Amino acid sequence: MKMTREEYIARMNSEDDWAPGWDAIEEEFNRLYPGREPSHYGTEIHARAMFGGDNYLDGYSIYDSGKGYQHIVTFGMSELYTDEDAFGGEYSRWGYEMTIKLKEGRAEDCLWALDMLSNLARYTYTTERFFEAGACVPGNGTSLHIGTDSLITALIAVNDTSAQTLDTVHGKVEFIQFVGITETELNKIREDFDNLQILIENMKKENPELITDMKRKKSYL
């Protein structure tokens, strides 16, 4: 049963730390990974945009899938905390959180990706251009993981292969999963946008979860 505005305001006034948007994200990932405690990384308060910094996200959780990859989710593209004006909206703020699945055994090996997701959030908040499934995000031609040797230089956006769209008190929240691709694949998509769907279909045959493997040499186009 959906919460009424009156119920929302009553709970907002009685629970100072109620964060319904945050809770909804955690609930979905607890459904995916029951009993698994994520590694959570909060952004420093003074670095957040609302305090004059340039970080637009409140934090990230990294879940060990138990299947050879880490599943990262952001907190901050949607409305996390109580806001009476946001109640009952069609979309919760930008209407999505960002995810990426990295072929890594430990959360510690994924920290570089948090900076990348932070940059994507900053882009959206400062240009008011959001990401949706089907988007291509070119890099500068070098490895997404700065300082490492990798053919993975750009990103595509898809609907997360496992996390489901949420219907929160603030509106809809989708999970947009970023997938690393090579410069060769990016150029072929630029030549013909239909190649994006072909790339996804080819990749899914071997990698149905669309996990980003920074050591990948094979091309799917």
Q: Is residue 147 one of the residues assigned to a domain?
A: no
Cβ-contact 195, 189 below 8 angstroms:
yes
Give residue 42's pLDDT: 81
Within-domain flag for 63:
yes
The pTM for the full model equals: 0.92
Which helix (H) or strand (E) covers residue 29, if one does? helix 20-32
In residues, how long is the chain?
221
Task: Please answer whether residues 74 and 117 qualify as being in contact, where contact means their C-beta atoms are separated by less than 8 angstroms.
Answer: yes
pLDDT of residue 18: 86
Q: Are 113 and 128 contacting, i.e. CB atoms less than 8 angstroms apart?
A: no
Q: Which residue, among 133, 121, 103, 87, has the nearest Cα to 216 in the 3D structure?
A: 103
Is the residue at 191 inside a domain?
A: no
Is the predicted pLDDT of residue 96 greater than 70, yes or no? yes
Helix (H) or strand (E) holding 152: strand 152-159
Contacting residues for 85 by C-beta, under 8 A, at least 6 apart: none
Question: What integer pLDDT is reported at residue 142 of this predicted model?
Answer: 92
**What's the domain range around 63?**
5-133+159-179
Is there a domain that residue 21 lies in? Answer: yes
Tokens 């045959």 correspond to 205
Higher-scoring residue by pLDDT: 72, 90: 72
Checking if the pLDDT of 38 tops 60, the result is yes
Q: Residue 46: what pLDDT?
A: 61
Give the mean model confidence (pLDDT) for residues 31-50: 81
Tell me, yes or no, whether 11 lies in a domain: yes
Q: Within a domain: residue 52?
A: yes
Q: Would 203 be classed as within a structural domain?
A: no
Which residues, in sequence order, are CB contacts of 189 under 8 Å at separation 6+?
136, 156, 181, 195, 196, 199, 221
The number of folded domains in the chain is 1
Task: Please state the rounded mean pLDDT for residues 178-193.
Answer: 96
Percent of the chain past pLDDT 90, that is, above it, reads 76
Q: Return the top range by mean pLDDT from 49-63, 73-87, 205-219.
A: 205-219
Q: Read off the pLDDT of each residue in 216-221 and give the average, rounded to a whole number.
A: 94
Rounded Cα gap, residues 178 and 187, in angstroms: 17
Look at residue 107 and tell me if it is in a domain.
Answer: yes
Alpha-carbon span 59 to 196, nearest angstrom: 30
